[in-house]
Amino acid sequence: CEHLICATGNYARQTGALLGLEIPAIPILHQYWITEAVPEVVERKRQGRPEMPILRDEGFEGYLREEGDGLLFGPYERTANLKLFAEDGVPSWFGADLVEEDFEAVSWNWEQVLQLVPALGRVGIKANVRGPFQMTADELPLMGPAWGLPNVWLAEGVPGGILWGGTIGYYLSERIVEGGNSLDTSDLDPRRFGDYANKAWTREKVREAWGTHAEQK
Ligand SMILES: Cc1cc2nc3c(=O)[nH]c(=O)nc-3n(C[C@H](O)[C@H](O)[C@H](O)COP(=O)(O)OP(=O)(O)OC[C@H]3O[C@@H](n4cnc5c(N)ncnc54)[C@H](O)[C@@H]3O)c2cc1C
């Protein structure tokens, strides 16, 4: 083939190793909860009012938004409580699976959010959704040429599918087809980390970056 694009999500370190590349990304485990119907949300809908904006607040370190007739709360795990996934390779049982809830990891966030939005605590929980996705030391994807391998391209370390999918699809194809990008994408260049970005370094920086990005400054 003329070009090879690696876009293997949680398998990035393994597929990179097949090509002799140490990919500076590692999966973290994140989770959110969805509540049963919240009367205030139901009432807003009955009145034909628009969906409420997402609430992100340093006070509870997370995001809160409408989901169906209820609310969705996604707390950011702090460094000490953040769990990584597949540090030594994705286990064979893993497909696109979710894993068991870990309330303890974010009990602090729950205490805080319930003070700000008591309605969240007046209804039951419908679902917990917890799973792994890739993270890098600066929380940005690795998009662009692989180092030392002509015509091998990376779309790895993608920490958000909805957030980044369109951007990466567009600009990586543009780069390959046109030979360059119509805007500066160097912040995403996979070569921005040096040889120091081994697994131990990436593990620590990922935990630090995700675990502190919502902290009060
Ligand atoms: C709980 C949770 C909440 C999330 N919330 C959001 C959110 O609100 N917004 C958002 O934007 N994102 C969110 N995400 C993240 C999002 O799911 C991921 O960022 C996104 O799926 C990454 O896409 P990807 O294509 O890089 O990897 P993936 O979706 O993992 O796809 C990679 C594919 O490559 C395949 N593959 C691996 N190795 C090989 C190989 N050797 N050969 C061929 N194929 C291979 C895999 O089987 C897989 O199908 C969330 C994730 C979780 C778990």
Architecture per CATH, domain 4-25+137-210, reads as: 3-Layer(bba) Sandwich (3.50)
Per-domain residue ranges for the chain?
4-25+137-210, 28-135
Cβ–Cβ < 8 Å for 31, 129: yes
The CATH number of the structural domain formed by 28-135 is 3.30.9.10
Residue type, 143: M
CA of 22 to the centre of ligand 1 (A): 19
Residue 217's pLDDT is 52
Q: What pLDDT is recorded for position 96?
A: 82
> Residue 95: what pLDDT?
86
Q: Is the ipTM of this complex over 0.90?
A: yes
Our CA dihedral for 203, 204, 209, 211, rounded to 10 degrees, sits at: 100
- Average pLDDT, 10 consecutive residues per value, the chain (217 residues): 95 97 97 98 97 94 96 96 94 90 97 96 97 97 97 97 96 97 97 95 96 74
CB contact set of 118 (below 8 Å; sequence gap of 6+) = none
Q: Which atom of ligand 1 is nearest to the CA of 30?
A: 1
Cβ–ligand 1 distance for 10 under 6 Å, the answer yes
Q: What is the per-residue pLDDT for 79?
A: 95
Helix (H) or strand (E) holding 4: strand 4-6
What tokens does 53 get? 């904006």
**Which residues of the chain form beta strands (DSSP E)?**
4-6, 26-35, 55-57, 62-67, 70-75, 125-135, 142-145, 152-156
pLDDT of residue 216: 60
Which of 1, 8, 14, 143, when mutated, tests ligand 1's pocket best, judged by the most ligand atoms within 8 Å of its CB? 8
The finding on whether 17 has its CB within 6 A of some atom of ligand 1 is no
Cα–Cα dist 202/215, whole Å = 20
Q: What dihedral do alpha carbons 139, 140, 146, 147 form, nearest 10°?
A: -70
The confidence score (pLDDT) of residue 144 equals 98
**Residue in 11, 66, 77 to alter for ligand 1 test, most ligand atoms within 8 A of Cβ:** 11
Distance in Å, CA 111 to ligand 1 centroid: 30
